[in-house]
Structure 1
Amino acid sequence: MGSCEVYPQTIQHSPNGRFVVVCGDGEYIIYTAMALRNKSYGSAQEFVWAHDSSQYAIREGNSVVKIFKNFKEKKTFKPGFGADCIFGGFLLGVRSNSGLAFYGWETSDLIRRVEILPKHIFWSDSGELVCIATEESFFVLRFLMERVTTAQESREMLTEDGIEDAFEVLGEVQEVVKTGLWVGDCFIYTSSVNRLNYYVGGEIITIAHLDRTMYLLGYIPKDDRLYLGDKELNIISYSLLLSVLEYETAVMRKDFNTADRVLPTIPLEQRTRPLSVMLFKNNCLISVLLNYLTRLSILLQFSGEQIV
């Protein structure tokens, strides 16, 4: 297909898959993903995409961040606490030696500053949930966009650290995340002790114990398969039913109508653990499984009929 003009330190596809950026040697080059045609280039120590692919940001040195839209520079600013590292997603994250600051892509206004030194930041597709992974643990937060909009309009809840109610902390887990991704409200990750887990509603469920270091490549919902690779370019996959993830998400949200609708699509052998363990820990077992037990009883009596 072609060759790269710089020695790459990072390679990132845009969220829509149309472009790929190579960053290294103090430069970045954006190529079209299919033909590897040069689309844009410039100087940068670091490059990150926004969630919509039309915007991206670069870091120059330890003090200057530039935001681009449609490949044209839109905003240059100097974060008040410095810029040692930047993170993409629904908000622009800037890490300094004193913590992490989130900025809006459109205005570069400070949304919230927290005293966390992240190594990775993972946003869900909806932009409602975010995982902030540090060297010792990871935090799961809910981004409250409505409160942010209200505070920005009223200007009454703004502080030097941004908007205090911009995020709601949902949980902290004492595990080190190596690679991760979101599927709905479920955060799937590989840990430093070579476990493949997922987090949903405050509970950790183990999918597999890995015999070597593996890296998450992606999840294909139509195949119900999770794909991982290693440094020797070996690829393995694990079965992970989307219906199970949807059911667990509905239960944790206490959306029992959706849970009842999804339950019949889950094979019987998948309806025990980890579903029962998660529900029991969250005091939802009786109310949620009552319908399941009724359906199971009918199945045992009339095994030839389909449950709907």
Structure 2
Amino acid sequence: MSVTVFIQGRNGATRWQPGKRWLLLPILLIAAGTGLYQHHAKQLTAQQTNIDNERLAREEQKSELLSLKSATEAQLSMLVTHVARMQAKLTRVEALGQQVALNNQLEDQFDFSSEVGVGGISELGTNIELDQLIADMDALVSRMDSNNVQLSLLETVASNLHIDEERYISGRPIKKGWLSSAYGLRNDPFNGKRTMHKGVDFAGEEGVDVIATAGGVVTWAGRMSGYGELVEIDHGNGLRTRYGHNKALSVTVGDVVAKGDAIAIMGSTGRSTGPHVHYEVLRGGQQIDPQKYVYRKAG
């Protein structure tokens, strides 16, 4: 197949018949255009893929940062809780120290109310909340160390001064009522068997106050098997007293109580047949007959 082209000029029409190479030129141009288009299309696809990958990477980094922030906040919250507990315990120790120092007229030598000074170099750029939290914990440690030393010295001084009036156990754990069961062997009111009763019972009206027979520190305030709602007070020198079957308690563990303070309300909780207080005196962890303490004169 051949193609003839007529070109009109001033001198008439000129006949031109292109060769086969000229006929291939449009095909080559179309092929070149198609190649360029495909090349650019591939470049655009690669660029879009890179953009998508970068977006996914940023989203993953954002997710990791959020997770790290959440974990950090949880750790800070846990540390804050620990510090709060330490502060509560330390406050209780300080209150005990102040009371002991006051009772022994040594408040001018032992100051449990002042804060312990803390300090240190703080690097720039550190997290303010975490830095403050660490400073608080350092302060608490310093206060605990200081107070432990003072309490140890105070205990030694107090033991040498022989101030036992407040810790002297005497009297009954109630203001109104009567002795309903003595210490020793008795017929158990529940099973009728001969059993050992390791305390004395004082019966009375439900709701009357149960009082401490000596000053000391509350070491138990809650339910105990058989005793119902129980209060136990440590008076030092290996002596403790227990007050059982209460309807409600007026103290908590760690409280410092004075002789005659109301510590509970009489009830009939636990293994009980009616409103009364089961009263025990323990020496070295063993129950002894409380009656000699009940009927002896106040110190």
- Normalising by the smaller structure, the TM-score range is under 0.3
**Normalized per residue, which structure has more helix?**
2
By percentage of residues, which structure has more strand?
Answer: 1
Greater RCO (Cα-Cα under 8 Å, separation 6 or more): 2
